[in-house]
Structures are given as structure tokens and as C-alpha cells.
Structure 1
């Protein structure tokens, strides 16, 4: 199919729903560990509590990819029904998760939240490949990254902003502060409204051969067959990108799960209080617990705000790429390599900074790698696979995102960081080393179409 080139605003409209998706991910990534700690989790328990995120991605994204490949509605299209279903479920989960009264309830809501976000997210990746000609793929994924950066920055700053506006950071033992509850409620609203904007402003191409499409859709056991066939025939470029993805996402899972305990302890010197160390029946100790807990909650606001910097940095990086790729080609391989290595240094320097203000520089560097992770691998992949199977391919590619996170959550990050010492900040050093390895693994990519788009007419 000959696809026309889209304008910036057409690409913006089809990508705008990612603002809400990233609100959900940023609130989850920046504050879920804080919620776990507030409800009594130890820092060594946090990675395992996060296992819901990668496991739901492993299960949900390939399923949604296959289903959306075989969906067509003249009114709703192929991908948009899944945007909408995921948005409704995600908004409900976002609103409810900070109201959890026990650790197991919060962990359960994380399962629901992540599964719901994945229902919306996977089809967005496929939509870019569905709608854009190959020459605009990098441009399309970079616009998505621009919107993701906006969402990350704003959502990460919400609790701090609400606190400055007078919403309380103080709460009883085992209760999530009101500043976090209100932030998650705002995130729920943004999630739903931004998805609705894309649903109602974007159209989709129908299948090229509707008769063949209907016959294919009616085949029995198509779901398992599609997954099995595509795993067996996985392109070499996809496998090589999988190695890069493994180390990239191991690093970022480490950040999302352990940045709050690492930075509140090492940089702000306000670790989460352990309730068993205080006798709450003694007024002085109860007051001391409240003082220490409030200091932890306030420094957690700052950690979340600093983490938002990587969203702002990725947004600026994406904007530069948008301006450049709208007119020129880029070498995706080297852009991705340099970006990942710079992010690795951003993580490593966290252990050695003299004051928390220097976290801004760390997260700026991390944002460069994040901006690249959200665009370059997908642009490289979409230029080297069958466009008719873009949904299932993008879903299977998600395996290389979730498997490293599962490895990390099942003890990988605790084991590796434990080799460096008991301090929580060592997890950030591990993240940095992992990201540098990911950058160097880009040398494995040799497919010319993946590295730089080549038109046959050129």
C-alpha cells in the first residue's frame, strides 16, 4: 500500500494518546515504590513487588498485538478499540491504587494497572507503522517520544506541585499521603481524555484485501499459530535489537523500582522509617515516627520531581530529532549507541554527587537514553519486518522489554547490586553499567535499512 506522508499535526493527533499512557507510567514508575514503602515494604522486597509490570506486559502485549492485527471495524478501525478499552481500565486503576490499605492490595492494583496500560500501549506502536510510509517512521516514533517526554515531566512533578499548593504530605502510618492520591486522580483523568482525543481525531487504513483479511481472521487457532510462526521466523535484526533492549530495560526497571529508596537514603539522608522500630503507644516515639515519615515523603516528592527531568530531557532530545528527521536521514544505530552510553554515566554519577541539585544533570543524561529507547529501536525494527504483521511483531518485540525486567525483579538486580555492597545506591551503579553495555551492543546491528532508511528510488 502506498501511504501518503502525514503532516506534523496528523502525526501529533495519532500520538497524543501517549500523553495519558505516559502519565500512567510516570506515576507508576516514580511513586509506586514510595507507595510500597509507605505500606511497609523493605527496599530488598521492592523489585519482586514490581514483577507485575513485566509479567503483564509479557502476557498482554503479544495477545493484544495478534487481536488488533485481526480486528477491523469501519467505525473504530483496527487499533483504536484497544486504546479505548485500556484507557478506561487504566484510569480506574490509577485512581484506586494510592487508596490501597495493605501491601498486597497495592501489588494487586499494580497488576491491573500495568495490564490495562499495556492494552492501550502496544497498538500505539503498531499504529505508527500502519499509518506512516517508511521514510517517516523515525519521525513518527520521535513525535511519540516528544509527547512521552511531556507526560513524564508533568506527571512526575505532580505530587511536589500539589504539596507546594498546600495538599498534605503528612499521613498516618501505612496511609499514602493526600498529595499522591490527588496526583494519581489527575493522572487518571488525563489518561482517559488524551486517549479519547486520539480515538476521535485519527482514522486508520482498512486492510488492503478485505476478502483475504476476513478469511485469515476466521481461521481457527490463529492466535497461537501467529505467535508460534513469528517467534520461529524472527528476523535477525529483531534478535540483535533484543540484546540491546535487554540491557536497556534492565537498567530502567532498576531505576523505577529502586531510585526512590536509593536516593532518599543516599542523597537526601531520609530513608523510609521502619514501623517496628517505633512504639506508637509512646507519644514521643509516635511524634518522631511522624517527623521521620514526613521527611521521607517530602524527599520522595523531590525524587519524583528530579525523575521528571529525564522526561523533559527526552522531550528536548526528541524535539531536536523531530526537526532533523523531518528533512534528513539519521544513523539510528549511532544515535542510539551514544544516547545509551551517556545515560549510563548519568546513573553512575549519582553515587558521587555532592548534593541533590546535581541529580538534574544525572537525569538529563538519562533522558537522552530514554528518548532514544522510545524511538530508535522501533524505527529500526519497523523498517525490517513484514508490515502486515506489525501488531504481533511489536507485541513479540515486547518480550525483549519484559524479560530483563522479570530477571531483575526475581533477584537479578538485588544480586548484582549486592556484589557492590549493601547500600541501596549501588543499584543505580548497576543500572549505569547495564546501559553502557546496551549502548555497545549496537555494534551488532548491521542491516542497512534498519540503520538508515534507504528508498529504492534514491
Structure 2
């Protein structure tokens, strides 16, 4: 047999596509419960609306740290029958389910914040390999279909997670936050969600078989050690100038926070810049010493050597996820104050608003599930992947802007349609573009590094949005929706630089 002969991966049936991505249904149940209810939990435990961005910092920060590490490790993992990505599915699902079971028992703000950190880290441990898993298991001409099915499951899981409290209240479960506690509707939702998450991930683990390293070699997807060595050599040739610049910028921000009375959350931004500068400097030094197997050197080298299309998509992701994070943090206080006239977290009106936000989030996720299967493939065939993504992002910007012209909370469902179309595209199109453009041997690490451009904008929003709102729009969170509309429009404009059709 000719050693250079390669074969195509088998074409997956609809059942195969289902099994590959069904675990993401459970993961998104967890994310939806987190996104729709954590601001409500924090405020029910005594947090003010101005402190919400700081409390939410835990979620994106854990993703920033966890995903590149898990991506790097999963590219190099093979545990026999358990496979390459599936060990991380199981570990993350176990920890996430445990965090969901414990979260409703929180009786202090600190406990809830720590559990949010644990929950998000656990969800990221499972989620990052799922992105690469689709690329591992599918041939290139099925990548768009694979990520569309994954997005449909994300939407369906998010609908279930978002609507849990609303349904439970209508089944007679108490929605009152007595004694500054967590309502039973939220408590039971988290418990049911933990069970659903673990069961869905276990389905994918038991119903799929990953291709062995030998099979991947037969498909032409073997690890390229020469390519890895080239990455390290390029890193070794870099100077320490950029590292010093990042450290200096971070120190300037820390100095400004201390001496000019900026919000304490900005300390994190300065600290992250210093940490990044130190990490790149250490990575360069390790590369110069020939430490080609070192994880830090490899991650830094891969980050600095990203393909051009990944860099252009990174800017799109930066703006897109800035808008999404604004929405997740501020929709509950916006709806409670501006549509229900009940900004007090202890009031019944606030809790009713919290339930309605869960319904709104369910709507945009439901729209995303339908759009992923019915709209995106058709648009991509008609106008191409890049224009499809740009058009969908503009629909999301229109959804955010409509918060200013809608006055009936029930009519906010219209806004969520546009947001849902954008959400479907954000979850599918960039990954379909990347999976067909990136080397298979580094799919895990590149998908993990791509998450940096999901996380950094969230950290930026978490560190500066509170300061902006206090300075210019105190007690008027509705203006955050204008910010979301502007940055989502910027994402659509940035997409004009991406050519992937």
C-alpha cells in the first residue's frame, strides 16, 4: 500500500451528525441557565446593578485560561477506546453538573460568584473539544452542515435552559425571593439542568467512535511535527519588544486605576495585559532554548502565527461577543426597570421581569435553532458564507436597537428574532469557515485560541461598562442596548474583510 495514499473520511448520516453534536445540547442548557439567571441570582443575594459586570468577570476569564490549554492537550491526547476529545467531554460534564446542583444552594454572594467560576470553567472544558470534534469527524464538504446541526442543538438546549423558570412558575412552583434568597423556580431549574447536561454529553460519548491516529493519518490528517518545530523557530526569532510593550501598558492602566479613582474592575484589565506580556516573554525564551514540547511556548507560538483568515475573523468575533455579553449582563435590569417599572430585585415585578427575560432568551435561541437549519445553509449557497454572516449580524444590531422603540415587554419578542438570527450565524459560520481552512493537526488549539476573541471583549465589557454607565447613564441600563447595536454593526462591517467563499 502506498504510504502517501489518503482516503476521504466516511460521509456522516443525519444520525451521525445528531450523535456528534447532541452533547452540545446539554452544555448549552448549562450556559443558558447561567446567562439568563446569574444576574438575577447575584441581585437576589444583594448585588447592585453596578456590580454585575465585576461578578460576571469570572465567566469569560475562565474561558480565556481553559480553552487554549484544553485545545492544546486534546490535540495530543489518545486514550484508546475513550479517544481524543471525549475524555474532556466527560470531565467537564461531571464538574458542570455538580456546579449546577450546588448553585441554587448559595446563600452568600461570594459562594455564587465562586460557583459561577467553577461552572464556566467546567462548561469550557467540555465545549472547546466539541468545536474540534466536528472537524475531526466530518469531511470538509460536511463542515457547514455539521456546525449548523451543532448550532441547532445549541439553540434547542438554550431554549430549554432559558424557559425552565417560566414553565415551573406556571406549574405552581414559587417564584418569590423570600429573605433575599433564590426563588424555587430558579433552584429547581438548575437541578434539572445539571441532570440534562450530563445525560446529553454521555449520549455523545457512548454513541460515537473517534478516528484513531492511524486512521487520521490515512485521511491525510496526521500530526505534522515539522510544522510544530517551524512554529517554535519563528517564535524564537521574535524580539522581547512586544512583551515589554504589553507589560508597560498594563502597568500604566494599574497606575491610572490607583491614582485617578477608576473602577476597581479595571485592575483586571491591567493585570491581564501584564500577564500576557510576561507569558509571551517566557514563551520566546523557552523557544530560544529549544523547548519545542513546552505547552506555553507552543500556545504562544500558535497564537502569534495564526493564519490570516483567523486574524480577520478575530476582529469580527471581538465586536460580536461584546454585544452578546452586554445583552447577557443587562437585559434583566433593562426589562425590569424600563418595561416593568420594578428595578428593586426584592419586588415581585422584578422577579416577573426575570422570568420574562428567560422567555425572551428562549425565543432568540429557538429562532437560532431554526435559522441554523433552514436559513443559513440556503443563504450560504446563495450569497456565500461571508455575506451570510454579515447580513445576520446586521439583523442582530437591528434587534438591539429596537429596544428603544418598543414599549410593550411582550413585543420584545420581535427584537429577539433579529438577535436569534445573528446568534445562529455567530455560532456556525465562523467555525465552518475555520474548520475548512485550518490544519487538522492543530484544530483543537486553534479553536481554543479563537475563543480568546470571544473572551477578551467580554472581559473588556465587564471591566469598563460599569464605569461608563456610572459616569454617563446612572440608573439607566437601557443605553447598554444602544452600545450593543453599535458594536454588532461594527462586527458586520469587519466581515467585509473576510473572503471565504
TM (norm. structure 2) is 0.82
Deviation, structure 1 residue 232: 2.1
Q: Which residue of 81, 91, 96 corresponds with 2:87? A: 81
Q: Is the 8 A contact 1:142 1:321 kept in 2?
A: no
**CA 1:259/1:14 → structure 2, altered by over 3 Å: closer, same or farther?**
same
1:296 aligns with 2:296: no
Q: 2:63 aligns with which of 45, 57, 61?
A: 57
Task: Measure the CA separation in 2 of the matches of 1:395 and 1:132.
Answer: 19
**2:80 match: secondary structure:** coil
Q: 1:315 to 1:411 in 2, by over 3 A?
A: same
Q: 1:225 — aligned with what?
A: 297
The residue aligned with 2:39 is: 33
Matches within 5 A, 1:121-200: 121-200=127-206
Are residue 48 (structure 1) and residue 54 (structure 2) matched?
Answer: yes
For 2:316, the equivalent position in structure 1 comes to 244
Count of residue pairs the alignment pairs up:
427
1:383 aligns with 2:436: yes
1:280 counterpart residue number:
none
Distance in 1 separating the partners of 2:391 and 2:26? 29
- Is the CA contact (8 Å cut-off) linking 2:292 and 2:298 kept in structure 1? no
Distance in 1, matches of 2:426 and 2:182, equals 32
> Given the alignment, which residue of 358, 373, 390 partners 1:337?
390
Stretches of structure 1 that go unaligned for 5 or more consecutive residues are 274-291, 453-458
Inter-partner Cα distance in structure 2 for 1:133 and 1:322: 19
Partner of 1:363: 416
Q: Is the 8 A contact 2:50 2:470 kept in 1?
A: no
Which moves more between the two structures, 188-197 or 292-301? Answer: 292-301
Q: What is the deviation of 1:304?
A: 1.1
2:495 corresponds in structure 1 to 442
Question: 1-side partners of 2:298 and 2:405: how far apart?
Answer: 49
Structure 1 residue 362: deviation in Å?
Answer: 0.5
State the Cα distance separating 1:133 from its structure 2 match.
1.1
1:313–1:367 Cα contact (<8 Å) kept:
yes
**How far apart in 2 are the matches of 1:437 and 1:420?**
22
* Post-superposition CA distance 1:125-183 (Å, at most 9, x none): 00011111111111110100011111111211110100110110113222101110000
Deviation at 1:98, TM superposition (A): 2.0
Q: 1:416 to 1:381 in 2, by over 3 A?
A: farther
- Confirm whether residue 4 of structure 1 aligns to residue 57 of structure 2: no
Give the TM-score, by structure 1 length.
0.89
Distance 1:314 1:417 in 2: 33
- Alpha-carbon distance between aligned partners in 1 of 2:66 and 2:135, rounded to the nearest angstrom: 20
The CA deviation string for residues 284-333 of structure 1, in whole angstroms up to 9 with x for no partner, is: xxxxxxxx52221122111111111001110110121476499x576110
Structure 2 CA distance for aligned equivalents of residues 403 and 322 of structure 1: 27
More moved, 421-430 vs 65-74: 421-430
How far the C-alpha of 1:353 sits from its partner, in A, is 0.6
Q: CA deviation at 1:412?
A: 3.5
Give the superposition deviation at 1:215: 8.8
1:311 aligned to which of 341, 360, 365: 365
Contact 2:393 2:492 in 1 (8 A): yes
CA distance in 1 between counterparts of 2:75 and 2:424 reads 27
Tell whether 2:263 aligns with 1:257: no
The answer to whether the 8 A contact 1:72-1:78 is kept is yes
1:221-277 alpha-carbon deviations (Å, 9 max, x no partner): 43223212211211111111010000100000111111111111111111124xxxx
CA contact under 8 A between 1:47 and 1:258: conserved in structure 2?
Answer: no
Offset at residue 99 of structure 1 (A): 1.6
Q: Deviations over 1:89-116 (max 9, x none)?
A: 0000011112211111111000000000
Q: Cα gap change, 1:335/1:413 in structure 2, threshold over 3 Å: closer, same or farther?
A: farther
| Contact preservation (8 Å) 1:126, 1:391 | yes
Tell me the alpha carbon deviations over residues 179-234 of structure 1, each in whole angstroms, 9 at most, x when there is no partner.
10000001000000000000000111111459x869999x8743223212211211
Answering whether residue 478 of structure 2 is matched by residue 425 of structure 1, we say: yes
2-structure distance, mates of 1:349, 1:91? 36
Unaligned runs of 5+ in 2: 1-5, 229-290
Distance in 1, matches of 2:401 and 2:304, equals 38
1:399 paired residue among 438, 452, 456: 452
Question: Aligned-pair distance for 1:421?
Answer: 6.3
